Chains A and B, each alone.
Chain A
Amino acid sequence: MKKKIVVVGNGMVGYKFCEKLISKDVSKSFDLVVFGEESRPAYDRVHLSEYFAGKTAEDLTMAPSSWYKENGITLYLSDPVVDINREEKMVRSHHGIVENYDYLVLATGSAAFVPPIPGVEKDGVFVYRTIEDLDLMQSHAKKAKKGAVIGGGLLGLEAAKALLDLGLEETHVIEFAPRLMPRQIDEAGSKTLQSKLEGLGLQIHLSKNTQEITGNGVIESMKFADGSVLEVDMLVISAGIKPRDEVAKIAGLEVGTRGGIIVNDKLQTSDPNIFAIGECALAHQMIYGLVAPGYEMAEVVATSIVGGEKEFKPFDMSTKLKLIGIDVASFGDAFIQEPNAQTIVFENTAKGIYKRINISNDGKYLLGGVLVGDAEQYNMLLQNTKNKTLLPADPEDLMLGSRGGAEQASSGVMALPDEALICSCEAVTKGNICHEIIENKVTTLDGIKKCTKAGTGCGGCVPMVKDLINETMKSQGVFVRNILCEHFDYTRQELFDLVKIKGFKTYDDVLDNLGKGDGCEVCKPAVASIIASLWNEMILEKNATVQDSNDRFLANIQKNGTYSVVPRIPGGEITPEKLIVIGQVALKYNLYTKITGGQRIDLFGAHVSDLPDIWEELVNAGFESGHAYGKSLRTVKSCVGSTWCRFGVQDAVSFSIEVEERYRGLRSPHKLKSAVSGCTRECAEAQSKDFGIIATEKGWNLYVCGNGGVKPRHAELLATDIDSATCLKYIDRFLMFYIKTAEPLTRTAPWLDKMEGGINYLKSVIIDDALGMNAQFEQEMQFLVETYKCEWKEVVTNPALRKRFTHFVNAPKMKDPYAKFEPMREQVKAAEWK
């Protein structure tokens, strides 16, 4: 005879109970019956505000109706339980359905607490709890301009976010207390949060006591105890929650004086066959208003019903959330202060960051803290608190992140003990995750999510799970070979040689013969680059969709989805006529113009559909593609050299033009920059380039493997006093060697760093022909030089290729209405993104 469990309530916790029971009840000895009050099966209330940000009700659903059916669960929706007959062990629903039970689980959750303010019944006054509430708000918001929220706590600020998303002109937050989120964060944290929220357009009113809501049927204004009045046409009350204990009360179960069904450590109510879990339960004299303790309660009851032993212990209420894009976190004992602890506070008012950690008086342990504005360290701080990890000598490093110098060993994820709880929503420990990585070879975030459920709740632990995967794999000695990606079990160098030997010319050929799966954004551009470096065919002919977006549209994508255009101006030399053409094109297509660091002119804000027309005009005026979009030669900068300069010893401009025209269009593992200086004063900054040439009295000095950027590097001297022909020969060899052997997206400087023997080895290859490859290198480069064609010229004259440059395939002439501009200093700039 099967036993029957009736679950009253189908919210997140009620659902989680079903999920846990199904997985524990392997012998299928229970029947499950669920009553839900709402019309849809349980959904993710934690992320409710995303409903206005574009998520649908289905997106938020925990599991579809079919899931209940497949697991043999009887689900009654839109039908709350109204009566419990404890004598007969029977429940009756609103629609009159009667079910017997062996165990009853109350998961009725909570409702919004609405303070008894006169006028709360008026139209335009809402609570923020269910998808139905949201639908009502949404339809009212269409005609509303000014909105307010009563409540400056966690839920109130969530509701304020919803009003912002609904696009109201003004959003006010009314809080009775003198500061925001008084339960979670300290006073200084509240202040930081407040100024950040005000910066986002929220108007915040503190110490305000609402006395009356006025209006003729519909809300018009709010009156406060201090006599002030605020005109609003929409109000959301989000001042707290009230446990749904009505049906428990009717059944004579014990409830707390301020609401909540009283339960013991096993979560049994005063009737041992009836349990209460989630926000309707009063455990340890408190209501746990977060989802993680609710899930833990579901676990405790499911375990004990199937015959296990588990108790609900006081639950850590540490929490991290994003409120309107602002990180807010509190963990451990957030408020403890001197003399019971020492506090370390960091505040950056300009950036809106406040951090506080509380440490034990002996300086050994972290007790808790508050983070506002930047909660990146939350997971580590929480783990250090929970696991009583011994603090490093400078505990502020934990809160601020390491600022150079030696890494603190105890702050790393690998220093945590195996029992450290990484995902508190699903109670997954570091040990569980590492076990999956090591024993079951699950090495992707997705995989870990699937097999452990870690990271599937609030998602806050995801960065930590990623770190764990990476660090654990490293410690296992995995990743020794730098294979391209999951689709190719080859390094770039191996793949380069194979593609060459087999003569593959399309990405699909390479994938079919050498890889697996369908490719990805890592291997596609890498293979495309190899194919281009080998065969130098027009990149959009056979391999258009494996090119990165910039290569696919032969332009650089910018902040609002428009592109920038950079015509080649070899050596930075340009005639007045050509300058005028650039000016005319920019005027005609309303482009922002700027001189680049590489002595060229960048034209920004071109719609994708305008690109071929723009280039048609440029090509007709004699311009060629500048390849600013490609991993290829960008610019060969020059100083004016001996033609004009009184110090110049060689004609730097003429040589830089020769170099630029020789290597234009050359595809390589990363971008290539070059420069030629006409004397030792080095005005062209050649020593910061991948290959730089400096004039001497006798010829040229050639430098290689320098760059600017994140980590500036001076180039190293490869050869001195060489003539122009030798210089080009050495560059040919150098570039081919680099193209064949570098990892994807590796500039020449880090390539040289990894090379055993360094610059001396490189010299032996290029100058002394240590590999015996130089004749081949030169021949291969000569092939690339001879087969060069301007990509844009080909597109402009090829109608089929031109047709691809549209934003809408079904409205080719129409421009993307989302591409917005703002005026700036008589030109335009891209509208700021969110």
Chain B
Amino acid sequence: MEVNHSITITTMIAEQTITWHVACSVEDIPENGGACALIENEQIAIYNFTRRGEWYATQNLCPHRQQMALSRGMIGSTGADNEPKVACPFHKKTFSLKSGECLTGDEYSIKTYPVKVENGQVFVGV
């Protein structure tokens, strides 16, 4: 009993409550590309991965040189399990769209956000 108790507490700390924000409509984000939306004063890059029928969102800031550019980067995939990724237009640092991990070997990573599409509207969870 004690075991479960203490684990539940941690999970609650780990899972913060998500608020969904309307970002834009589906056609605002180009197919197989990204665009930036301003949500709660944060710049969030939203990617319409049409090829895979998937949506992703990350911070717009590339941590390498602190540039607001990821939404203008090319998206794609890498590796045997087709990890979805985005490449910063400045120096081609790439990041996983799933985990935010830098795939070009640097130590920094980017924040990712949940996305959902309802009635032609794109929502981002912050």
Contact = CB atoms under 8 A, between A and B. Distances in A.
Interface of A: 39-41, 47, 50, 53-56, 58-59, 61, 64-66, 68-69, 74-79, 95, 97, 444-447, 455, 459, 462-463, 466, 486-487, 508, 517-521, 523-525, 544-546, 548-550, 552-553, 557, 559-561, 804, 806-811, 814, 816, 818-819, 833-834
* Interface residue range, chain B: 35 or more
Interface in B28-47: 28-39, 43, 46
Nearest to A528: B74
Given A545-B30, A546-B32, A810-B23, A517 B77 contact: yes
Contacts, number: 162
Given A39-B9, A65-B10, A54 B111 contact: yes
B36 A521 contact: no
A550 B69 CA distance: 12
11 contacts: A40-B13, A50-B108, A76-B2, A444-B79, A459-B107, A521-B74, A557-B89, A808-B37, A818-B61, A818-B68, A834-B66
A809 B37 contact: yes
A519 B76 contact: yes
Nearest to A460: B107
A473 B23 CA distance: 45
Contacts of B19: none
B63 to A, nearest CB: 7
A521 B79 contact: no
B94 interface: yes
B14 interface: yes
Nearest to A557: B89
B126 interface: no
A77 B6 contact: yes
Contacts of B109: 55, 59
A462 B105 CA distance: 7
Contact of A544 (B28, B30, B49, B80): B30
A833 B78 CA distance: 29
A65 B61 CA distance: 29
A97 B29 CA distance: 54
A819 B36 CA distance: 14
Contacts of B39: 810
A65 B11 contact: yes
Nearest to B22: A810
Nearest to A445: B105
Given A804-B30, A814-B38, A518 B3 contact: no
A55 B46 CA distance: 20
Contacts of B105: 445, 455, 459, 462-463, 466
Tell me the interface secondary structure of chain A in the complex: loop
Given A520-B94, A525-B74, A806-B35, 19 more contacts: A39-B13, A75-B3, A75-B7, A77-B10, A518-B76, A519-B74, A519-B76, A544-B33, A545-B31, A545-B34, A546-B74, A548-B89, A552-B33, A553-B72, A561-B68, A804-B30, A816-B43, A818-B43, A819-B68
Nearest to A78: B6
Tell me the interface secondary structure of chain B in the complex: mixed
Contacts of B7: 65, 68-69, 75, 77
A564 to B, nearest CB: 14
B119 interface: no
A74 B4 CA distance: 9
A342 B100 CA distance: 47
Nearest to B85: A520
B69 A561 contact: yes
Given A75-B6, A518-B82, A549 B73 contact: yes
A76 B28 CA distance: 48
A53 B64 CA distance: 12
Closest 8 CB pairs of A and B: A545-B33, A549-B89, A520-B76, A521-B87, A518-B77, A809-B28, A818-B68, A519-B76
Contacts of A77: 6-7, 9-10
B2 A97 contact: yes
B107 A521 contact: no
Contacts of B23: 809-810
Nearest to A525: B74
Contacts of A463: 105
Nearest to B2: A97
A520 B111 contact: no
A833 B65 contact: yes
For B6, B28, B33, which residue has the most chain A Cβ atoms within 10 angstroms?
B6
Given A518-B82, A520-B76, A521-B73, A811 B2 contact: no
A93 B114 CA distance: 39
Contacts of A808: 36-38, 43
Given A444-B79, A810-B38, A833 B6 contact: no
B94 A521 contact: yes
Nearest to A463: B105
Given A518-B49, A809-B35, A548 B6 contact: no
Given A58-B14, A459-B107, A524 B3 contact: no
A548 B29 CA distance: 17
Contact of A79 (B6, B24, B51, B89): B6
Contacts of A64: 14
A180 to B, nearest CB: 23
Contacts of B76: 487, 517-521, 523-524
Contact of B103 (A39, A446, A486): A446
B10 A809 contact: no
A834 B65 contact: yes
Nearest to B68: A818
Contacts of B77: 517-520
Contacts of A834: 65-66
A830 B36 CA distance: 21
B10 A833 contact: no
A66 B83 CA distance: 23
A56 B37 CA distance: 22
A810 B74 contact: no
Contact of A807 (B36, B67, B82, B107): B36
A75 B6 CA distance: 8
B20 interface: no
For A486, A518, A546, A811, which residue has the most chain B Cβ atoms within 10 angstroms?
A518
Contacts of B63: 54
Contact of B51 (A76, A518, A810): A518
Contacts of A818: 43, 61, 67-68
A47 B10 contact: no
A400 B35 CA distance: 44
Contacts of A444: 78-79
B74 A548 contact: yes
For B33, B51, B74, which residue has the most chain A Cβ atoms within 10 angstroms?
B74
A815 to B, nearest CB: 11
Given A74-B3, A97-B2, A486-B78, A552 B9 contact: no
Contacts of A521: 73-74, 76, 87, 92, 94
A818 B83 CA distance: 29
Nearest to A550: B89
Nearest to B105: A462
Contacts of A814: 38
A784 B93 CA distance: 34
B111 A56 contact: yes
B10 A40 contact: yes
Nearest to A544: B30
A824 to B, nearest CB: 20
A445 B83 CA distance: 14
A517 B82 contact: yes
A768 B122 CA distance: 60
Contact of B9 (A50, A78, A520, A560): A78
A69 B105 CA distance: 30
B87 A810 contact: no
Contacts of A559: 67
Contacts of B73: 521, 549
Contacts of B13: 39-40
A120 to B, nearest CB: 29
A54 B100 CA distance: 12
Nearest to B90: A557
